[in-house]
Amino acid sequence: MRRSFGLSLDALGSLFVSTTLGYITSSFLSGVVLRRIRLGALLALSCAATAVAMIAYAAAPHWAIVLAFGVVTGLAQVPSTVH
């Protein structure tokens, strides 16, 4: 990916930050979401969002799209306290 987008190795940090922001948001909102939908539905949505994000990583023509789907990847990770 680094070669495809012509980025330095430092750009990986921005992907870590975007994924972490999504995960933190997911952690804060997990209680609210679970009050509205059941755990099975949440896990199914999580798997679907992860699949979409991985496909987007593979097909992204611009680094900004990879970063945006980094947030989606983080959101799709169900915090371990929910299980």
Confidence of residue 80 (pLDDT cuts 50, 70, 90): low
Instruction: Kindly report, residue by residue over 39-70, the tens digit of the pLDDT.
Output: 889 999 999 999 999 999 999 999 999 999 99
pLDDT at 83 over 60: no
Domain positions in the chain: 13-75
Q: Please give the structure tokens belonging to residue 48.
A: 């679907």
pTM: 0.84
Q: Which residue has the higher pLDDT, 32 or 3?
A: 32
Read off the pLDDT of each residue in 71-75 and give the average, rounded to a whole number: 95
